[in-house]
A and B are shown apart, each in its own frame.
Chain A
Amino acid sequence: MMLSWEYPPRVIGGISPHIYFLSKYLSKQNVKVYVVTCDFPGAPAHEVIGNVEVYRVDSYKSPSPDFATWVYLMNMNMQKETAALMKKIGDKVNVIHAHDWLVANAGIGLKHVFRKPLIVTMHSTEMGRRDGLHTTAERMIHETEAWLTYEAWKVICCSDYMITHVRYAFGLPNDKLAMVPNGVNTHSYEFDNDCEIFRAKFALPEEKIALFVGRLVYEKGVQILINAVPKILAKVNTKFIIVGSGYMKEQLLNIVQSMGLEHKVLFEGFMDETTLQKLQKCADVSIVPSLFEPFGIVALEAMAARSPVVASDTGGLSEIIEHDKTGVKVYPNNPDSLAWGIIKILKDETYANYIRDNAYRRVQERYDWQKIASDTKSIYEAVLSEYSKSFWAKTV
């Protein structure tokens, strides 16, 4: 029983595609997967996708004064609906797999009501997202995350960096943690794309395309890229395309305007998946300047699209990118270093192609969903083996 606040077509961050592919490939390995998630306009309340059953619950049943309160109220309804579902389908559910604090209450409650083992994937932490804990709301979310990981039988993280971070943030023992990387679907980038025509929508023929994809929030480091833009333009004629939205958008627009660079930096907002994939395939460089990055799925997607990546040497990005082989790593929070990395790629076509080929091979070798599902299934089996010896297994 998979619990997530997002599942396609509801896509807010990286959890949605993660659940989609993980459940899809788990079901190919004979794991029956039920996904309970939030509703979305036009999406059915119950849907069967292959061997995956998706249930979408009413997430706005109760009015809420703020986002965090909404999360707990949404959990109340998700928990109620999932409890009814689990009672209906009988003893078919062996494990409950909750993704992030956003479904903490539902996951913990269902664990105790049905006495089933709870597995948790921590995609990120509040402490990491906010670079510390500064407000009451942040501390509340942090404590909820700690409570969730305390209740979990096993905590899955997507990088060695996150394992260390989660162990530190919540004081967890080593044997409770397991690393399973995130994956990328390379097949979705296998289509013919006439870059000559497509790129004309964004850049002049003589301009290189530098692409940033991500939420426009502090930890994604888009402000560092903006600061690096004049240094790059001094060396290479480039068009910077920013895809995504977030609370920093207005502020960033003002900075770009004050620099007189509106014609060089385009804010495209949200982009549909097909257009984004075409753009990633045409981009001369993809930039991931994050300050905090548990994994760095955007880098992996760019590598699958054969776009050379320049990324901060931080978090999960440090593990994905091998410097000078599958990408270029730069100092985090350093516009000079970032500009150096981007210029290095844009000025040397041979080097860029070398990076492209290596990166694509690395993605196929290490970040294949089949392997990730297999690793996850092994964790389920190990937990179930331990659970079968517990007194809980004898009382249900």
Chain B
Amino acid sequence: MVGQLSEYVKALTSELSEKKIDVNVVTYDDRLTGETQESSGVKTVRVNNPVKTHIGVLTWVLTLNQEVERVSANLYYDSNKKIDLINVFDWHFIPAAVTLKNGLGIPFIYSIESLEEHRSPTANSSYNMAIKSIEWLGFYESHIAIVKSEWMKEEVIRIYKVPKEKIAVIPSTQEATVNKILKIYHSIREEPRNKT
């Protein structure tokens, strides 16, 4: 666990699984790599970085993405190509989601916990700008972006000029959170694939 995202995704995926949704979680762990079946029914695949030495966070994230992409592609083929949707949380695995979308035609949702603009408010180094460019790519390539507050929606519109129709606000504190997310999942699944 690095932040609150870990617990949030665990709770969300468990509830989705209870609602008979097949959920696969692809995540990072430096040691506990491989596939596990959680008691909730969620299948979790943990990957580590194929390159151990790095000069910064960006190179670490970008090489880790390839492992995320590899196991996601394996899940896709192992399920007879029946992965309907990818939900990517924050900027870290956007590169993998974008390639999987463009190569295999799987639409993806971009769920935003925080933005680089807020994490590093005054920093505009090329490092920060690179992360912002990946966030922008996530908004551009995703089918829909999910934020947790109206304030964040306004921020996404202000910083990345994302059309407001593309942003859904689903606060995580509401009891109906999962149902709302599920409704979005179903709406994307029912749309023709050529839209993605």
Contacts and interface: CB of A to CB of B under 8 A. Distances in A.
A79 B95 contact: yes
Contacts, number: 107
A136 interface: yes
Interface stretch (A102-110, A172-180, A187-195, A330-338): A102-110
Contacts of A140: 51, 53-55, 59
Interface residues of A, number: 36
A247 B59 CA distance: 24
Contacts of B73: 112-113, 115
Given A64-B126, A80-B95, A109-B69, 6 more contacts: A76-B65, A79-B95, A80-B98, A87-B103, A105-B66, A108-B66
B102 interface: yes
Main secondary structure of the interface of A (DSSP, over half): helix
B102 A143 contact: no
Interface stretch (A13-21, A65-73, A312-320): A65-73
Interface in B75-96: 77, 95-96
A83 B106 CA distance: 12
10 interchain residue pairs of minimum CB distance: A83-B103, A62-B133, A72-B62, A63-B129, A63-B126, A84-B102, A139-B53, A83-B102, A112-B70, A113-B103
B107 to A, nearest CB: 14
Given A80-B99, A112-B74, A113-B73, A68 B55 contact: yes
Nearest to B57: A69
B99 A63 contact: no
Interface residues of B, number: 34
B127 A65 contact: yes
B67 to A, nearest CB: 9
B77 A73 contact: no
B51 A143 contact: yes
Contacts of B130: 62-65, 69, 73
B125 A84 contact: no
Nearest to B74: A112
Nearest to B51: A143
B166 to A, nearest CB: 19
B63 interface: yes
B58 interface: yes
